[in-house]
Amino acid sequence: MQAEQEQYLRKVAGKGQEMVQQMVQSLSSALIYPEAGNVATNEKLWDVYASEWGKEAPWVVEMAATNRDGAVALDAVGDEWAPRAHTERVVDEWILSEVTPEARCCEIGSGGGRIAALVAPRVASLACCDVSAKMLARAEAALAGGPAATSFHLVHGDAAPSDAGFGAGPRAYPPTMARGFDFVYCFDVMVHLDAHAMYRCLRRVESLLADGGRAFVSTANLKAPDGFARFEKQSKYSVGGFFFVTPETVRVLADKAGLAVVRELDAPDASNTYYNRDYLAILARKDA
């Protein structure tokens, strides 16, 4: 069944159908069994996405033309999702504004390295974590020749409650990461997680933060103009589409995960893809 799933995804990607969600909008029980879980489905999708991605691939070119200035070159996987200036604004105002050159940082969901490439030169160290081996390889290639203190970790993504904690096993977060980071960020990742996976991810964020550390997360926002517009266009939730929540839901999940919101986007902004679609927040441990 796994081979059939991957073959299907590659076939759809090759046809250049609209956006990434069309690559997987048919991932119903006929293609990926529900018990495979959100994280496992994400792993499968992004492995295929990374394998099929290319700057000249018709479906990538089409996506870039839809979401950004097509005349601007693509540097990394994911650059096709939004104008570069929109991404850089989020990084500047929600990540770089929170770190110092001495900061130990961790990225959950590094993808192809488009955000890591902006952050790594500005901090002391950056641990890039992802559930997709092929995306992680893309990230490592994108950051080749960059800061030496950048590491890459294939993780289980807290696919189940039993994954909590740290260990030495395959895909486990190593014990050295516990309370090991001054700043953790998870940008444009939770939009693909269902509420249970999102909660486990927030618990992971809490466990990674050192005393006084902070985190940045983003989610799709049902109350934002472009968030609701995108919600209306989706017939149902799929990993390739978005899982929509409200800021209130994120606050509850963060609180139950031991985190408190210390800053959040207070109003949408139509001039930026993320500001008009997502909920953005800075979090801190409640016990620190």
The answer to whether 116 and 110 are in contact (CB under 8 A) is yes
Identify the pLDDT of residue 148: 81
For residue range 252-283, list pLDDT tens digits in order: 999 999 999 999 999 999 999 999 999 999 99
Q: How far apart (Å, rounded) are the C-alpha atoms in residues 104 and 179?
A: 11
Q: Give the strands of the sheet with 259-264, arranged side by side.
A: 150-154, 125-130, 104-108, 181-186, 209-220, 278-285, 259-264
Q: Reduced to 3 states, what is the DSSP secondary structure of residue 129?
A: strand
- Per-residue pLDDT band for 3 (boundaries 50, 70, 90) equals low
Say what the pLDDT of residue 32 is: 43
Q: Note the pLDDT tens digit of each residue in 97-150.
A: 999 999 999 999 999 999 999 999 999 999 999 999 999 999 999 999 888 899
Tens of pLDDT along 175-199? 999 999 999 999 999 999 999 999 9
Residue range 16-50, pLDDT digits in tens = 445 555 554 444 443 444 457 999 999 999 999 99
Chain centre distance of CA 137: 16
**pLDDT attached to residue 11:** 55
pLDDT beyond 70 at 235: yes
| Region of poorest pLDDT, from 16-20, 75-79, 120-124, 229-233 | 16-20
Nearest to 75 by CA among 145, 138, 148: 138
pLDDT at residue 244 in the model: 96
> What's phi and psi for 211, nearest 5 deg?
-55, 130
What is the pLDDT of the chain when averaged over all its residues? 90
Instruction: Between 278 and 69, name the one with better pLDDT.
Output: 278
Give the other-Cβ count within 10 Å of 111's Cβ.
Answer: 26
> With contact defined as beta carbons under 8 Å apart, do 112 and 138 qualify?
yes
Contacts of 130 by beta carbon, 8 Å cutoff, 6+ apart: 46, 109, 110, 111, 136, 139, 153, 154, 155
pTM for this entry: 0.89
Q: Quick one: pLDDT at residue 134?
A: 98
pLDDT(153) > 60: yes
Q: Which fold has domain 38-285?
A: Rossmann fold (3.40.50)
Q: What is the pLDDT of residue 147?
A: 84
Give the start-to-end residue ranges of the domains of the chain.
Answer: 1-31, 38-285
Separation of alpha carbons 52 and 61, rounded Å: 13
- Closest listed residue to residue 119, CA positions, set 109, 129, 107: 107
Q: Helices H, strands E: what count in the chain?
A: 10, 7
Percent of the chain's residues with pLDDT above 70: 86
Pairing of β 278-285 and β 209-220? antiparallel
pLDDT of residue 67: 86
| pLDDT, tens only, 202-216 | 999 999 999 999 999
Nearest 5°: phi and psi at 102? -95, 0
Rounded mean pLDDT, 226-235? 96
Give the Cα separation of 184 and 213 in Å (integer). Answer: 8
Task: Name residue 135's amino acid.
Answer: M
Of the pLDDT bands very low, low, confident and very high (cuts 50, 70, 90), residue 239 is confident
